[in-house]
A and B are shown apart, each in its own frame.
Chain A
Amino acid sequence: MAECGRVDSNTSHTMDKSITLPPDEIFRNLENAKRFAIDIGGSLTKLAYYSTVQHKVAKVRSFDHTAKEAAGDKLYEISMQEEVTARLHFIKFENAYIETCLDFIKDHLVNTETKVIKATGGGAHKFKELIERKLGLKVDKEDEMTCLIKGCNFVLRNIPHEAFVYAKHADSEFRFQTTNPDIFPYLLVNIGSGVSIVKVESEDKFERIGGSSIGGGTFWGLGALLTKTKRFDELLQLASKGQHASVDMLVKDIYGGSYGYLGLTGDLIASSFGKSATADKEFSKEDMAKSLLHMISNDIGQLACLYAKLHNLSRVYFGGFFIRGHPVTMHTITYSINFFTKGEVQALFLRHEGYLGAIGAFLKGAEEDNPNQYSWGENYAGSSGLMSVSPDMNPMQRARSGTFPFDMLEMDRLERQLVNLPLLQDPSSYIPDTVDLTEDAPAREYWLYCFEEALDGVVKRAVASQPDMPEAALRAEKFRQKYRHKLQTLRQQPFAYGSLTVRSLLDTREHCLNEFNFPDPYSKIKQRENDIALKYYQKAVKSLDELSWEEKQFALVRGVLAGNVFDWGAKAVSDVLESDPEFGFEEAKRQLEERPWLVDSYDQWLERLKGPPHKCALFFVDNSGVDIILGVMPFVRELLSRGTEVVLASNSGPALNDVTNGELQILTERIAAMDPVIEAGLREDRLLLVQSGSSSPCLDLSRLDKVLAMVVRERQTDLVIIEGMGRAIHTNYYAMLSCESLKMAVIKNSWLADRLGGKLFSVVFKYEVPVGKPNKDCGAFSPC
């Protein structure tokens, strides 16, 4: 990229504009940018653009498809290919920098066919001429409210943990809400200078059902008059220091105590500013600002509740500049809603509330690309996260120090549409993650430390995966910095990307690796392990077949568990694997805990196996090599033999040494060549390989490939098997399914083992039958 723009200030803006834009961080991928949208508010500008990103992806290809016998030493080849994916970029900065930014964009924008920029927000008309002159794009104004709603629908649908409840005095200030697949209907209370209350019933149907003129503008305008304080943020700061009781007339000021008859406590405000009318004295700025804040927040909360009640809505989101990440106003609004609904309705806030208008304006302009037809995911590597930068705070200082305050959000277009697993008992209450590290401080400490500790190893692995690329070391170093910075941010602000979980820490690492073109650091290892394991397949199957039925069932389960020990994601194991590549399957079995296991419902499982076969089993697989080939495949083979159809769900993209769908296709083909049961299963369409839609070592059953969901429904799946620590313990340990489920994992982390009351290599074998469904004729019950 060219050197960053250094722009001299010669305009009327008071702020020092000679600032440096960090080109590696801001306005990324401008070269391929198309479709711009801008939302200019009273103080902040939000710019949106769509761009394509070139990624390296690891592809696997079988050496020889036609002549299976000729397949020599290596099973498949790995190649790095360039793939173009779509990404949405959103940048937020202060209006004072708008010219600097426009210049920067102009200088870096190459060959775009874009002619129009969609614009919204109150300030759009003010900068219309400037934008048209600088960028040569025609400014096309879009209705503010429409953009807001479109943006709101988009984030609610696509960003997990978008909405949160604010609790000032709780252990974790932010309580993130699980993503409900059904986002409608809801109420959006937008508190700008005035208040708009909008009822949203569907993607295209919304109605402004009411509003109020007492809003952020009232706080600001009246506050400026009363306190001679000009800036909104300063007013909020004043308010946070004040005591409203010296200005407000409280119930106890009138009654001397509480108004018991009506249940009104003495501390309730009877009359806002009531004391400033009766007492002839001076009031402090802080106290007046606080009183004003309470007055306005309570009033808005009350009206919101009245509208919610009238329209029978329980989901109420608050947004607008009055709210925008300010703990003070989120707290007072939350309090008000709580008071007026007696706790029946919770005030909800949005992590990306500030971007709604820009997102909506962008979507309006991109309608022909059908962005709503895709699923999108937040790119943790390129997004600032909640409150990591608060441009509202002390902007003068920041400008003086020469850095450019901005906030970013990046959304990647996912290759496929993601939906709920149809077998979730209650999708609206499903929480994938077992431990919320936002709330569990000791667990957070441990895992952040753990991921930091493992960073060197990951960097080493990443470099080793690209031996032919000399700059890999440099990129790996950048990855290290980026991820370490993310970990530091999360230490300070665990809530930055929603609830902090082991899953989100893993996903963030994958995003950062991808960002620096390390799509699959474990590709070579996986390849080698798959090769080795395949050689033992026939032997393993043969020895299993020699066992009695009951012995065999137990051996199969132990096989899966032992296979699951082979996990590079777990440090305890990777140390052993690193030092002893010949670490064998048998050795792993010896490491396993003896029965009774830490969680042990094997007897029930065995009992169940004596009954009729399942109709169809959905198996979420874990690692490459021994795990999938010697552990899972024999187990699958047995299911097929029993007459159960099997759907193997594997990752769409790489994550650690997890087997990807691409790899599994080739592996299964190879095994089919050796094993008539697997071969028949494939041929008769009773064994299916479907991708999960995920590229994570964990599993979110509410975001699965639509095709997988369809297959699950069509095949009348009545058994779900989830394997491995990432999928069955870090996530889904408590997941309730509407059919039988089997969760199998070996605990390969001593801290976690400790937490669960076990020890290293303890076994979790959790077989569950949904309540109310008799064990006996499970084979007969219909899928949900």
Chain B
Amino acid sequence: MAFNGHQRDDDDIIDENETPSKQPRSDKEMPVHFRNEPNSESATTAGRATSDRRTSQSATRHRHDSVKKTRPPFPWFGMDIGGTLVKLVYFEPKDITAEEEQEEVENLKSIRRYLTSNTAYGKTGIRDVHLELQDLTLCGRKGNLHFIRFPTHDLPAFLQMGRDKHFSSLHTTLCATGGGAYKFESDFRMMADLELHKLDELDCLIRGVLYLDSVMSSGPSECYYFENPADPDHCVQKPCTLENPYPLLLVNIGSGVSILAVYSENNYKRVTGTSLGGGTFLGLCCLLTGCSTFEEALEMASQGESTRVDKLVRDIYGGDYERFGLPGWAVASSFGNMMSKEKRESVSKEDLARATLVTITNNIGSITRMCALNENIETVLFVGNFLRVNTLSMKLLAYAMDYWSKGQLKALFLRHEGYFGAVGALLELLHPS
């Protein structure tokens, strides 16, 4: 509930941020936050938060100090350690006063510089610069939110770096979610002398989704959908917001897939999941084509033709199977053509990669659609790193939802695909629920 109250205030502030002039913004936003901060201990309702806003300037000043104590020290991280990728969000404060700068320890400075001045870390760490959210106000501080990822199997290198940079000396709390928060908890302790604050991944996911959608940044809209999904020539991405989103089916496609029915910010259930997810796509592609990265697999898929690999309805019936309303272009059997030796020998690696992508994507689409029907939900939100730079799958999902539901279901997507868990973890650091 505390989270609830803060969430709304953040909204208010960010609305005000929309004003072109930057100067007054910080003056305005600070008090609002300070007024609310003490309430984070108790259950704050939106109503009370509003009345708090009328507090006088002097009272604010007084509280400023108390908030300073409750506000966690920098650096602010949120971490999501998944089966394949580690997602890290880092808040870079841009409103550091000269006084603060002097007080700032060297370690902290060096971490900030390292993260913000590079876009790649080591061999595999990458900062998604295009996703960076600038001029964001968090917990009364203004700054930029950075999005960084690296493969889970490189976590030891990350921990080594943390150890080298004496991360533990900063006495920060590292909020982490995802299975790896549990699996690697002792590694964090042993290798980097760090204590993890472990958080549930689905709680974080939902918190992150709702937060990022509500943040109105100067950049492109967080949420979007595809217009004319049935027509490849006119299928275009259109911005939208998650206004009145409930009930919502949230489909998180990571290594595996989780499907959640969300009825409100704090009321959700995991409907089901499937093991056929992003990990399956990449795993099968590696085995079938010898590729080794997601990007490589996607690149191959974009050049291939799945219809050479899959058996279509028209391959069996010569056209549509009208008796059951099955169009000729529909896939009757994924990889069905590969039962024949001749056809196995005639397909390319690109075809196989494409077929793998289409198979996995369509399957997620079909399970999602059944869940939506069973749960009686019409809005479907797809997130997760499987969708990163994967327009092919997104358009397929958009089309599948639209076609098989005869326009009843709407597929929505979010720009920060796989980072919501990490954002949720960061929010937990700032506003413990």
**A interface with B by C-beta (< 8 Å):** 42, 122, 143, 145, 192-194, 196, 208, 210, 212-218, 220-222, 224-226, 230, 247-249, 251, 253-257, 259, 261-262, 268-278, 280, 283, 288, 295, 298-299, 302-303, 306-307, 309-310, 340
Contacts and interface: CB of A to CB of B under 8 A. Distances in A.
19 contacts: A193-B311, A213-B333, A215-B333, A217-B311, A220-B339, A221-B336, A249-B256, A249-B279, A255-B183, A256-B184, A270-B255, A271-B84, A271-B256, A271-B275, A274-B275, A274-B280, A274-B283, A295-B280, A310-B373
B162 interface: no
Contacts of B280: 271-274, 295
A255 B177 CA distance: 10
Given A255-B179, A262-B270, A230 B288 contact: no
* Interface SS of B by simple majority: helix
B247 interface: no
B286 interface: yes
A286 B352 CA distance: 21
A193 B283 contact: no
A122 B316 CA distance: 8
Contacts of A196: 324
Contacts of A210: 366, 370
Contact of A254 (B179, B200, B283): B179
A717 B272 CA distance: 53
Contacts of B178: 254
Contacts of B287: 226, 273, 276, 283, 288
Nearest to B404: A210
Contact of B323 (A143, A221, A261, A309): A143
Contacts of A215: 333-334, 336
**A220, A221, A255, A283 — most chain B CB neighbours (10 Å):** A221
Contacts of B158: none
Nearest to A298: B275
Interface in B276-308: 276-280, 282-288, 292
Given A273-B280, A274-B255, A306-B374, A145 B323 contact: yes
B138 interface: no
Nearest to B358: A213
B84 A278 contact: yes
B283 A277 contact: yes
A271 B316 contact: no
A365 B69 CA distance: 86
B335 A272 contact: no
A261 B199 CA distance: 11
B45 to A, nearest CB: 27
Contacts of A272: 275-276, 279-280, 283
A765 to B, nearest CB: 55
B182 A271 contact: no
A268 B275 CA distance: 9
Contact of A276 (B182, B284, B337): B284
Nearest to B82: A254
Nearest to A309: B374
B83 interface: yes
A310 B284 contact: no
Given A212-B363, A253-B83, A261-B200, A276 B286 contact: yes
B261 interface: no
B208 interface: no
Given A218-B359, A272-B275, A310-B373, 17 more contacts: A213-B331, A214-B359, A214-B363, A217-B335, A218-B333, A218-B335, A224-B341, A224-B344, A230-B341, A249-B279, A257-B183, A270-B279, A271-B283, A272-B279, A276-B284, A278-B151, A295-B275
A221 B333 contact: yes
B153 interface: yes
Interface in B385-416: none
Given A278-B153, A299-B274, A273 B283 contact: yes
B180 interface: yes
Nearest to B362: A213
Contacts of B339: 42, 193, 217, 220-221, 224
Nearest to B371: A306
Contacts of B83: 249, 253-254, 270-271, 274
Contacts of B282: 277
Contacts of A276: 283-284, 286-287
A51 B256 CA distance: 55
Contacts of B285: 277
A443 B332 CA distance: 48
Given A122-B316, A340-B272, A299 B363 contact: yes
A251 to B, nearest CB: 7
Contacts of B276: 214, 272, 295, 299
Contact of B277 (A251, A259, A268, A271): A271
B230 interface: no
Contacts of B332: 193-194, 213, 217
B367 A303 contact: yes
Interface string B248-262: 000000111000000
A217 B334 contact: yes
B310 interface: yes
Contact of B180 (A212, A254, A302): A254
A96 B359 CA distance: 32
A247 B339 CA distance: 22
A255 B256 CA distance: 13
Contact of A256 (B182, B277, B367): B182
B256 A270 contact: yes
A280 B287 CA distance: 10
A270 to B, nearest CB: 4
A302 B364 CA distance: 12
Contacts of A261: 200
Given A213-B334, A217-B334, A257-B182, A222 B284 contact: yes
A273 B284 contact: yes
B338 interface: yes
B206 to A, nearest CB: 14
A677 B152 CA distance: 94
Contacts of B335: 217-218, 221-222, 225
A226 B311 contact: no
B210 to A, nearest CB: 20
A156 to B, nearest CB: 22
A578 B261 CA distance: 77
Contacts of A208: 324, 326
Contact of A259 (B179, B323, B341): B179
A71 to B, nearest CB: 66
A509 to B, nearest CB: 45
A194 B272 contact: no
Given A271-B256, A295-B280, A226 B288 contact: yes
Contacts of B374: 306, 309-310
Contacts of A225: 288, 335, 338, 344, 352
A300 to B, nearest CB: 10
A540 B255 CA distance: 86
A727 to B, nearest CB: 48
Contact of A193 (B179, B182, B336, B370): B336
A269 B275 contact: yes
Contacts of A295: 275-276, 280
A701 B152 CA distance: 65
Closest 7 CB pairs of A and B: A221-B338, A273-B283, A271-B279, A254-B179, A256-B183, A217-B333, A274-B279
A711 B180 CA distance: 72
A273 B279 contact: yes
B251 to A, nearest CB: 14
A700 to B, nearest CB: 38
Which of B185, B202, B287 has the most A CB atoms < 10 Å from its CB?
B287
Contacts of B202: 262
Contacts of B371: 306
Nearest to A261: B200
Contacts of A298: 274-275
Interface in B50-80: none
Contacts of B288: 225-226
